[in-house]
Amino acid sequence: MAAPHIPKLNTLSNARGTGHGRGRAGSGGILITGAEEDKSAKDRVVQQTDQDASVSRLSAVEAGYLDDPFAKYFVSGEGQRRFPIINRGTYVRTKAIDNLVDEFLSKNPAQEKQIISLGAGSDTRFFRLMSRRPVSHGRGILQRPNVIYHEIDFQANTIPKLHPIKKLSELSGHIGSPVMFSHSTNPSEIYNDDSLHADQYHVHPVDLRNLDPSRPAPRSFDFVDTALPTLIISECCLCYLPAAAADTVALYFTQHLFPNSTPVGLILYEPIHPNDAFGKTMVSNLAARGIVLQTLKKYGSLEAQAARMKSYGLEGTGGASVKDLWDKGVEGKEKERVAGLEMVDEVEEWELLAGHYCVAWGWRGGPEDDVWEGWKSMAERIGGK
């Protein structure tokens, strides 16, 4: 799901693109006026943010912020260079979530784990993980992880996601075998496959709004192992749903699909602070383009995000603004490297923009092995409790 693209204070009324960093095209409702006041039109607006997000990710890669050789495969047409503060925001947000993912996977690495990415769109994290060469980490060497990776999104986004995967060995070579492509509604449409199932990778064409404890689970969820320690990621996905619907989706996973005995963690990347001057301008600008971030009013602060995690049954919480993640979470030499890539003249604008997005995380432990030890340390170092 793409986060809103807010390049400069003095150009808010003409913001280009919709991706603040690597975004996701996820499952949610957007309020739209005029002739587009129908459900499918609203959905298309959300779905189309994925390409904007892909362009933002590729911009950060080409500018040297991120190492992602797969980003180029999921961009349609020509790329576009984003503003330096957007590239930096993409970097900080991506690295923060990567660090949380690595902490989760590196604790007892021989133990199989699971990741579920909500509104995954063209996200490349699975391929980056599977292509990993041995690299040093705080607790040793990170190898190709022992993880089952699930992506859930609108069918309209899973179909184009699978096109390059089927065509390019640079992508399919990381999936392993056997690989099963299929069309969830019409098996004869082999050229429009919308789902993929392999040993470690599953793509589910599922509208998150249809998840309901009173209904049978989607058939493809048979591939979800409810006993494995599981990390759920929502990068600007749930924020496009009404708050009650977003809560229903989160609770579906934390309280219904997975038993209390299963360690479960949740990462959210969302905007915050809608009521100060910059926040009001941001909200107004997005509303003019037909976009409403529907959870923002209810979960518009780090304190509200922490309380949200608790309401989902997650015992520990952490969270920080993108600004604090840059200030406190990026080490000196790496910060010097990134700062040297592009001149950020608009320091005040960077601090305002970075202060209006956050990464929040919450977890509940397992009975034997605390897979969230690294998350606790990050919360203590950067923010949370």
Q: Residues at the annotated binding site for S-adenosyl-L-methionine?
A: 93, 119, 207-208, 235
The tokens of 122 are what?
A: 């063209």
Pairing verdict, β 201-205 and 195-197: antiparallel
Which letter, b or e, does each residue of 133-158 get, where b requires 16 or more Cβ atoms within 10 Å of its Cβ? eeeebeeeebeebebbbbbbbbbbbb
Element holding 155 (H helix, E strand): helix 155-167
Contacts of 199 (CB under 8 A, 6+ apart): 148, 176, 177, 178
For 319, phi then psi, to 5°, come to 180, 150
Strands (E), the chain: 113-118, 135-137, 140-142, 147-153, 180-182, 195-197, 201-205, 230-235, 264-271, 316-321, 357-364
Which residues are paired to 38 by β-bridges?
none
| CA distance between the termini of the chain | 28
Which residues are paired to 135 by β-bridges?
142
CA distance 4 to 136: 34
Closest CA to 204 of 153, 165, 254: 153
CA distance 317 to 265: 10
Q: Please give the annotated binding residues, written as ranges.
A: 93, 119, 207-208, 235
